[in-house]
Amino acid sequence: MRFYTGDEAGLIKAVDIDHNVTLLEAQAQAAKKARAEAKAKTLEKKGDTTPAGPTELAGVEVRTVSGTVSRSLGIQQMCTAAWTSGEAAFVVARKGGVVEAIARDSGASLARWAEPGFADALSIKHNGKVIAGRHYVGVGAADGRFLACTNLGEVRYQAFTSDDGAAAAATLLKLPMDACRMRTHSARPSVFAVGGREQELTVWDAETVEAGADEYAKARSAPLFRSKNVANDNLDLRVPVWITDVQFLDDNASAPSLAVSTGYRQIRIYDARAQPRPVHDWTPSKHPIYHILASHARPELYFADNVGNLSQLDLRTGKVIGGYKGIAGAVKSIALSEDGTKVAAAGLDRYLRVYEAGGMRRPLHRAYVKQRVAHVVWDWEQRDLAPDEIEQQEAEAIWDGMDRLEQDAPPRLRPHKRKAAAQ
């Protein structure tokens, strides 16, 4: 299995894990190697018998695909896209205001665009806090165009370059400040949902919205969907709004179903065809929920809080059906296998962990990637093979590599004497 990670140091890394090597076997081999190295150092009287850094596990290979270590170009948001030539690519939004398209296989930069004045220091008081700078809260791409959103509610939808080499036409939308998350629709990337602190969930279509072309401006048209806050609490007080993540739950882009997480521990389900208020409102955690991922295989939702807990929620009942242990830091990104039987998580503890998605939810694999991860992508094209399939492929490769001998035509047999006499 293969993963791609984008981290705070500006690197995109490919992580290859041999699924035939279990985590226990890899840990046993790593411990044996560490003991051998410590013993060798002791015999050489070097004094230090402790291996430097975490010992690499067997069956794990981590390599850098693109980028050099630069904190100023740290990856804040990342998504996959098919480039205009059909080549698989990543579109990353970096810390300094750079949006870049990078070829997945070669790591070459396909296109690059920079937001002017993005890194300027700010001091804006909003919602009882001071916003000191910009950062990206979401990015999406398709057909050579990208859609990016900042925490100031600045949404840009444009092509990287125009056909004649001039500046590409853009749609610049200004939404309320303090946005926390923007996510695009998988079937129609121009449709996006955004929400934040004291900012209700809204769904827009960048292809049809009437906004500015030269500067960020408020929309002159209505969004596809705008949510309403839940009813007042038992003290008749307004319930605060703090949307931290958004997920589209179906393929309907004009009137979608969505799931959102909040900093007040809720997970809410919205149906744009039914009503503006949530149709389900659950509180499955004791901590603020920062990241969610809807399963494409089962009616389930994975959510992670700010203390390293990763859990699984049944969307039919709203009950937590399991959790995943061993994570030491907050999870920043979640990914699922193509069949939905495995789930991967990565974040601030610098480890990429793979778990069994059902059953005992056992840890299956682990890889140390050295930097804090901002986003992880599971490469579904890299298919895991069973041991019998590997043996069959190896046998076929051996037979294909053998030289073929040209045989002469078989000799013509003389007829039997009795048959010849009868004739």
**How confident is the model over 404-410, as a mean pLDDT?**
61
Selection from 114-118, 143-147, 208-212, 226-230 with the highest mean pLDDT:
226-230
Q: What average pLDDT does the structure give for the chain?
A: 87
Note whether residue 130 is domain-resident: yes
Note whether residue 419 is domain-resident: no
**pLDDT (tens digit, 9 = 90+) per residue, 354-363?**
999 988 899 9
Domain interval for residue 341? 72-397
One-letter-per-residue 3-state SS of the chain: CEEEEEECCCCEEEEEECCCCCHHHHHHHHHHHHHHHHHHHHHCCCCCCCCCCCCCCCCEEEEEEECCCCHHHCEEEEEEEECCCCCEEEEEEECCCEEEEEECCCCCEEEEEECCCCCCCCCEEECCEEECCCCEEEEEEECCEEEEEECCCEEEEEECCCCCCCCCCEEEEECCCCEEEEEECCCCCCEEEEEEECEEEEEEECCCCCCECCCCECCCCCCCEECCCCCCCCCCCCCCCEEEEEEECCCCCCCCEEEEEECCCCEEEEECCCCCCCCEEECCCCCCEEEEEECCCCCEEEEEECCCCEEEEECCCCCEEEEECCCCCCEEEEEECCCCCEEEEEECCCEEEEEECCCCCCEEEEEECCCCEEEEEEECCCCCCCHHHHHHHHHHHHHHHCCCCCCCCCCCCCCCHHHHHHC
**How confident is the model over 194-220, as a mean pLDDT?**
94
**How confident is the model over 383-396, as a mean pLDDT?**
66
55-69, 369-383, 398-412: least confidently modelled range: 398-412
Residue 50 pLDDT exceeds 50: no
Residue 319 pLDDT exceeds 70: yes
What is the structure's pLDDT at 417? 59
Q: What's the whole-model pTM score?
A: 0.83
Note whether residue 305 is domain-resident: yes
CATH number reported for the structural domain that contains residue 251 in this entry: 2.130.10.10
At residue 49 the predicted structure's pLDDT band, cuts being 50, 70 and 90, is: very low
DSSP letter at 71 equals: G
Note whether residue 38 is domain-resident: no
What is the structure's pLDDT at 392? 74
Residue 198 pLDDT exceeds 50: yes
**pLDDT (tens digit, 9 = 90+) per residue, 294-318?**
999 999 999 999 999 999 999 999 9
What is the structure's pLDDT at 129? 87
The pair of structure tokens assigned to 414 is 């003389």
**pLDDT (tens digit, 9 = 90+) per residue, 30-42?**
666 767 767 677 7
What is the structure's pLDDT at 51? 46
17-21, 159-163, 307-311: least confidently modelled range: 159-163
Angstrom distance (rounded) from CA 320 to CA 401: 53
Number of structural domains (the chain) is 1
The pair of structure tokens assigned to 17 is 């894990």
Note whether residue 420 is domain-resident: no
Cα 88 from chain centroid? 15
At residue 166 the predicted structure's pLDDT band, cuts being 50, 70 and 90, is: low
What is the structure's pLDDT at 402? 76
Residue 404 pLDDT exceeds 60: yes
What is the structure's pLDDT at 411? 62
Note whether residue 45 is domain-resident: no
Note whether residue 219 is domain-resident: yes
Note whether residue 393 is domain-resident: yes
Residue 353 pLDDT exceeds 90: yes
Q: Note the residue count of the chain.
A: 423
**pLDDT (tens digit, 9 = 90+) per residue, 249-260?**
999 998 999 999
Residue 47 pLDDT exceeds 80: no
